Chain A
Amino acid sequence: MRVIALVKRILLQIRRDKRTLALLFFAPLLVLTLMNFVFNGNEIKPELGVVGANKPLIEQLEAADIIVKPYEEVADIKDTVKENKLDGLLQLTADSFILTVTNDNPTIAKMIEMKVKQLLQLQAQPSFEQAEATNQLAIQTDYIYGSSETVSFDTFSPILIGYFVFFFVFLISGIGLLNERTTGTLERLMATPIRRFEIIAGYLISYGILAFIQTIIIVLFSIHVLDIILVGSIWDVLFINIITALLALSLGILLSSFASSEFQMIQFIPLVIVPQIFFSGIFPLEGMADWLQGLAYIMPLYYVAEALKGIMYMGLGLSDVVRPVLILVAFIVCFIILNLFALKKYRKL
């Protein structure tokens, strides 16, 4: 009964707090959408100049989402490309093809190269030769950011979904309990017959409900609006995200007992949240030193990422991700027990 009273009160407080509601339900969608725009190069149509091409080839190129600009004759390849702001130029002569790519954006360059190669291979033409890039400086800049290695949005969007559920639930539930501490109401509750586990349960249930709604919104939005790849079952995805939310909740309210202000709660972000994203699989772990790879195994988000990637990208079922799920449940149980101890400083019961 007391748990229900607590849940009702927390939900009422959140309902009154429009800013927190927005942070829970709209901020993740906004960030995901932006990420989608940033990483999805497929929307861009590259411009390709073509010299000496026949009509069928031009049509095929256009069908492959390339804007084709036919030229009669080209004196200086580099000048033509630069002056017309082309992304590349394809020269066809009797016995050879020369593709020149601007390469100021390697993603676009790669895309042109790939598409042209495919088309020409389809036509089973003998020789293919790629000219040197026109802009050396640009190539180097882009290699520094490792764009040739970057995975596409599809592969790591499942990780991002879990990550956002974790981040926003962690922050909001942590600050929720923290407020209860700093305003003295938590201490005041200790003068009522409420038990410590009832307080924890009240927080887990109320923020669990919010996290559930948030998860549904994020997952549906990602799949139906952003067209993020989902090979596995949406129910499995929801299940893993609920586990993620419980994890974030139990960790958030636990860490809130080590913070004395909202600002200190924010300080946990670089300490607790940011390192986890490095180890969650967005960046390949294989290249890291062994001891660093070991660190990944103590990071809860690593298992979230493993499970979500398995389901969304590789099409596994829940039975294939039992191991990460069990480990996540173990983390949650640990955090809840620690929470009960953290509240002991108020009262023994």
Chain B
Amino acid sequence: MNNQTIIANGLSKAYGDKIVLNNIDFATEQGRIYGMIGPSGSGKTTFIKMLVGMEKPDTGSVHVLNTPMPNLEVLQRIGYMAQSDALYPTLTGKENLQFFASLFKLNKHEQKERIAYVAKLVNLTDDLHKKVTNYSGGMKRRLSLAIALVQNPEVLILDEPTVGIDPALRFQLWEELIRLKEEERKTILITTHVMDEANRCDFVSMLRGGSIIAHGSPQALKDQFDVETLDEVFLHAGRTSI
């Protein structure tokens, strides 16, 4: 029970008449990577924002690290990466990192160390002194990821983290995510469009029409629908549930 890190119960959300999420239950454990896949507009971002406490659910509750959300203490322990880069363009990469780091409880020494570490992790060390205006799309993505990691959070919630990142770096980032999971026992939840990435998660949830239409390890899902790829799972699951 205690290593359950995120617990969402009966989450629903509607914008006006449009029901985006309908009674979603979801739970995660420490030391696992969870993938959330679903077509654009299926409510992945909305779901993730509710976990962090940025969006209020119409019904249902979210507990993170055994605490009802939103909770400021727990936010200290969650690393969040938004789908759209929320950066300060007139500041340098380093200044962006410093600003976000200083919102968390890190002493000067820790802050310096963490900034150097996360910058290296996303291959931005040499570009830290450039202003973010001059960054490419992929560099901004990487800076956002670095910011999500800067306070060394136990729970990582990443909204489409690898969009616009080249294959080599994407590979490297996945290596790091897996290391974080295995060595530091972090909980990682990511949304993605890329089935290849979903394959590397321990558990995959498929979101469509406001509901999770399938959930399980990639292999279990393939076995369940007797298919070779997750793409096919997605197609089959969609058909049976609607």
Q: Is the CB of B95 within 8 A of A12?
A: yes
> Given the complex of chains A and B, what is the CA–CA distance between A23 and B103 in angstroms?
30
Q: Kindly state the interface size class of chain A when it binds its partner.
A: 20 to 34
CB 8 Å contact bits of B25-58 with A (1 = contact, 0 = none): 0000000000000000000000000001110100
What is the interface of chain B mostly: helix, strand, loop, or mixed? loop
Q: Are A185 and B102 in contact (CB under 8 A)?
A: no
- With the chains together, A232 CA to B100 CA distance in Å? 46
Q: Are B54 and A191 interface neighbours, CB within 8 A?
A: yes
Q: Which of B54, B56, B82, B103 is the most central at the interface, judged by chain A CB atoms within 10 Å of its CB?
A: B103
Considering the complex, give the chain A residue whose CB is closest to the CB of B76.
A193
Contact B78 A191 (CB under 8 A): yes
Q: Which listed segment binds A: B85-93, B115-123, B161-169, B217-225?
A: B85-93
Are the C-beta atoms of A348 and B56 separated by less than 8 Å?
A: yes
For A346, the closest partner residue in chain B by CB is B54
Assess the A193–B72 pair: CB atoms within 8 A: yes
**How many angstroms from the CA of A192 to the CA of B79 in the assembled complex?**
9
Chain A, residue nearest B87 (CB):
A185
Determine whether A110 belongs to the interface, using a CB cutoff of 8 Å to chain B: no
Hey, what's the 0/1 contact readout for B93-108 against A, CB within 8 Å counting as 1? 0010001101111000
> What is the bound-complex CA distance between A121 and B76, given in angstroms?
83
Please give, as numbers and ranges, the residues of chain B lying within 8 Å of A9 by CB-CB distance: 88, 91, 95, 99
CA distance A245 to B82 in the complex (A): 35
Residues 1-59 (chain A) with a chain B CB within 8 angstroms: 1-2, 4-5, 8-9, 12-13, 16-17
Given contacts A2-B103, A9-B99, A347-B54, contact A191 B75 (CB under 8 A): yes
Q: Chain B residues near A323 (CB, 8 Å)?
A: none
CB neighbours of A187 from chain B (8 A): 54, 82, 86
The range of chain B's interface size is 20 to 34
B86 touches A192 (CB 8 A): no
Q: A5-B103, A190-B54, A348-B56 are in contact. Are A195 and B72 (CB under 8 A)?
A: yes
Cross-interface CB contact of B70 among A8, A12, A17, A349, cutoff 8 Å: A349
Contact between chains at B86 and A347 (CB < 8 Å): no
Chain A contacts for B52, CB-based, 8 A:
190-191
Decide if A272 is an interface residue (CB 8 Å cutoff). no
Binary flags per residue of A64-90, CB closer than 8 Å to B gives 1, else 0: 000000000000000000000000000
A347 B91 Cβ-Cβ under 8 A:
no
- A317-349: contact bitstring with B at CB < 8 Å (1 yes, 0 no)? 000000000000000000000000000001111
A349 to B53, CA, bound (A): 10
Kindly state whether residue B80 has any CB partner on chain A within 8 Å. yes
Residues of A within 8 A of B80 (CB): 188, 191
Q: How far is the CA of A189 from the CA of B147 in the complex (A)?
A: 12
| Residue A213 at the chain B interface, CB threshold 8 Å | no
Within 8 Å of chain B (Cβ to Cβ): is A126?
no
Asked if A194 CB lies within 8 Å of chain B CBs, one says yes
Contact B75 A192 (CB under 8 A): yes
The CA-CA distance from A313 to B78 in the complex, in Å, is 58
